[in-house]
Amino acid sequence: MRNTAARLPSLLALRAFEATSRWMSIKNAAAELNVTPAAVSQQIKLLEQDLGAALFRRLNRSLELTDVGQRLADDVQVGFTRLRSGVDKLRKAERLGELTVSAAPSLAAKWLVPRIERFNERHPDIQVRLIATGKPADFDTDGVDLALRFGPGGNSGCDNDLLFAADVFPVCSPVLVKRQPPLRDPSDLRDHMLLHDANSEVVPGLPDWRSWLLAAGVERVDTARGPRFNNTHLVLDAAIAGTGVALAVEAFAAADLAAGRLVRPFDLSLRAPLAYWIVAPATSRNCPKVQAFRRWLLEEAGQGPTSK
């Protein structure tokens, strides 16, 4: 059986009535709703028919609410005010509010986190929530607004912006360069500890020691020796400590190189066939907080190493 007690009149009709009861003018209500006065009049007529009661007295040059109309106006205006407030809050949360960003742990630790204060200073109304994970974000289920990914780009259904290429080269502590044995030529790596980033073993397209030494024309180096680390920032920390020589992505080592904590003993670098990308759902193209963070990322990527 149909529950007629719970049935609401047309929301279009209620909206027309609410606007008219505030303005006490069909013409002004029509202008607010961006429709014709005739359309507003028709909606009010339909509402009166639905409720079985007159809501306005039509005078020569004005309108007057009936007693029934006044009671309804009081409630409907409160209801629409709350609806507008709720929608405004939602739009503000989408426009500002919290921004959830997903990034690989090493990218987060060595590149993003040292810079994030600059974004906070520029956009204090946007709270960044950073998820450091090697798992690709699922924009439909994880609540992630934007992700930084290493790969070929071209993620389906998303906007993909190149953040930076993955240029890889050896780095070490400046103290290590001054020690014996010497470290003047790539062949000198035979006598030094090699530090390994385990990511290069599982991430396709990320150069490892074998591929770099091959490009350098160096043979008879045991690329199996040396400690392995499951995070890039741990490899760089070990290199800074003087433990050995590491292969580093330029963007990750830039701050340490600029500060003198690391040096490049050799000029040769390899560019990975994959790169780091900013990935966001195409549906967020008009989301101000996502676009603000995207623009800031691209600006940071073009600035070079952070000064912090």
pLDDT for the residue numbered 91: 60
Going through 7-77 in order, the beta strands assigned E by DSSP cover 56-58, 63-65
Average pLDDT, the chain: 89
| Ranges of CATH 3.40.190.290 domains, the chain | 99-308
Amino acid at 136: P
Q: What is the pLDDT of residue 308?
A: 39
Q: Give the residue-averaged pLDDT of 38-45.
A: 94
- Cα angle value 251/122/98 (rounded, 5°): 90
Q: Please name the CATH architecture into which domain 4-95 falls.
A: Orthogonal Bundle (1.10)
Tell me how far apart the alpha carbons of residues 226 and 220 are, in angstroms, rounded to a whole number. Answer: 15
Rounding to the nearest 10 degrees, give the CA dihedral for residues 37, 42, 45, 51.
Answer: -120
128 compared with 155, residue with greater pLDDT: 128
Q: Is the pTM of this model over 0.85?
A: no
| 3.20.20.70, 3.40.30.10, 3.40.50.300, 3.40.190.290: CATH of 99-308 | 3.40.190.290
For residue range 148-180, what is the model confidence (pLDDT) as tens digits? 999 888 888 899 999 999 999 999 999 998 888
User: With 80 as the cut, is the pLDDT of residue 304 above it?
Assistant: no
